[in-house]
């Protein structure tokens, strides 16, 4: 899987924001994020599992945290979140999602069957605007 994107942003994203790709797997249920940019820095709560580099794309810190009794694609549930955060933000590029999944597996983070993947902007307050001239996720 891969994603291609380009965005411009203005304003502020509040106390927390994430710009990148997001999805879920089932069996096991996992919520995942690949963050390429943010307004005020991506939150990093949870356990740091490691760091990896994808040639031509950049270096990412990897975190895992548990969500207990939270909304999910299967109703209220407990599930892990897997998060890759790019160490140097970027506003356009190609994301090799499969390489993130392989890195997570190497850190002992087990995903299930892919349920969904999409380009996502998530903001915790603030105001502003994000435009995506390009935003796509493809299975390769």
Residue 18 exposure: Cα atoms within 13 Å on the Cβ side: 18
The domain tally of the chain equals 1
Q: Which pLDDT score is estimated for 21?
A: 95
Query: Which pTM was predicted?
Result: 0.91
Domain at 78, CATH number = 2.60.120.180
Give catalytic residue positions.
Answer: 31, 122
pLDDT tens, 26-41?
999 999 999 998 766 6
Q: Which two tokens stand for residue 42?
A: 């991506």
Give the whole-angstrom CA distance, residue 47 versus residue 114: 23
Query: What residues make up the domain containing 94?
Result: 2-138
């Amino acid at each position: 899987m891969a994603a291609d994107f380009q965005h411009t942003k203005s304003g502020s994203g509040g106390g927390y924001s994430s710009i990148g790709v997001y999805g879920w797997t089932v069996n096991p249920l996992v919520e995942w994020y690949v963050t390429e940019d943010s307004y005020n820095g991506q939150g990093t709560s949870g356990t740091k599992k490691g760091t990896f580099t994808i040639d031509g794309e950049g270096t990412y810190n990897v975190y895992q945290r548990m969500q207990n009794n939270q909304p999910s694609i299967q109703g209220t549930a407990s599930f892990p979140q897997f998060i890759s955060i790019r160490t140097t933000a970027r506003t356009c590029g190609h994301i090799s999602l499969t390489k993130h999944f392989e890195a997570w597996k190497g850190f002992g983070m087990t995903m299930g069957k892919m349920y969904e993947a999409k380009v996502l902007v998530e903001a915790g307050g603030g105001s502003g605007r994000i435009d995506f001239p390009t935003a796509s996720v493809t299975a390769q």
